[in-house]
Homo-oligomer: A and B are copies of this chain.
């Protein structure tokens, strides 16, 4: 269940390209420098985030040679705050940031904004409203509603399910509240909810406990694909895989592949992927490459992934 990182070219800070002014594209002849600051690839989801950042920057660089990209990765918030300050000192025009944590990054990003840097914030948001020019994030209430819809369809006569919560965060609360609300009146009953921290080992452990305690389980929502892979291992050890439907969430490559192959313990997933960095980078790049006004909020859907549409969500080279 270990994720192997691809060999990234990124160091602490990597200048991906510097094009001459003569290669400028479209109406806007000014080359712009876009700084990108993301968490380092320390686990699955952030591994995917780094992968998609790398390939998107490469694609934008090829498509729009007048743009210059600086990419920094940080394994903690204070490193990330320093990265932002360094990039501002280097004269970036725009900053695309997925904050490690909201609070410690708010002041450095606000300072960047005050110096005229265009701010694109991704996923976790900043602790103060109105700093970013463009926000790109997922749809967490929908994530819970889509999960509930899966179990309502699997169990039209009702049934008993167990749930794993994630890391205790605002995002987890929003998802779980929406999930419970969407199940109301459906006859689908939640036997128990324990924290599995979006983690495979913890998912395995929580599932073992559920299997001992509950003689009949119709469904498992593990909340996340890492936890779901742990739960899957526990269920298979118990030999009870025919008894229950298992759903994770977030669109891990390995789970998508299992859905596509149709014989791996999963028939669906919910999309909340590290690919949300892609439109964040692309829209910011095109602000400069094609003079596109892009202030606003971009909220990506979290649709259900099934065998029918799985190919569109599959990235064979991604670590996640």
Interface of A toward B, CB cutoff 8 Å: 25-27, 55-56, 59, 62-64, 139, 271, 273, 275, 278-279, 282-283, 286, 289-301, 303, 312-313, 315, 317
Contacts and interface: CB of A to CB of B under 8 A. Distances in A.
Contact of A295 (B25, B283, B301): B301
**9 smallest beta-carbon distances between A and B, as pairs:** A63-B63, A296-B300, A295-B301, A278-B292, A298-B298, A59-B290, A296-B301, A26-B59, A275-B293
A25 B293 contact: no
Contacts of A297: 297-299, 301
A218 to B, nearest CB: 28
A312 B299 contact: no
A273 B139 CA distance: 26
A297 B300 CA distance: 6
Q: Count copies of this chain in the complex.
A: 2
Nearest to A300: B296
Contacts of A63: 25, 63-64, 289
27 contacts: A25-B59, A25-B63, A26-B59, A27-B55, A27-B317, A56-B292, A59-B289, A63-B63, A63-B64, A63-B289, A139-B296, A271-B293, A273-B293, A275-B292, A278-B290, A278-B293, A279-B283, A282-B282, A293-B300, A294-B300, A295-B301, A296-B298, A296-B300, A296-B301, A297-B298, A297-B301, A298-B298
A192 to B, nearest CB: 32
A290 B301 contact: no
A286 B275 CA distance: 13
B294 A279 contact: yes
A296 B279 CA distance: 11
A238 to B, nearest CB: 35
Contacts of A289: 59, 63
Among A26, A289, A298, which residue has the most Cβ atoms of chain B within 10 A?
A: A298
Contacts of A64: 63
Nearest to A290: B59
B300 A299 contact: no
A295 B270 CA distance: 13
A281 B289 CA distance: 14
A94 to B, nearest CB: 12
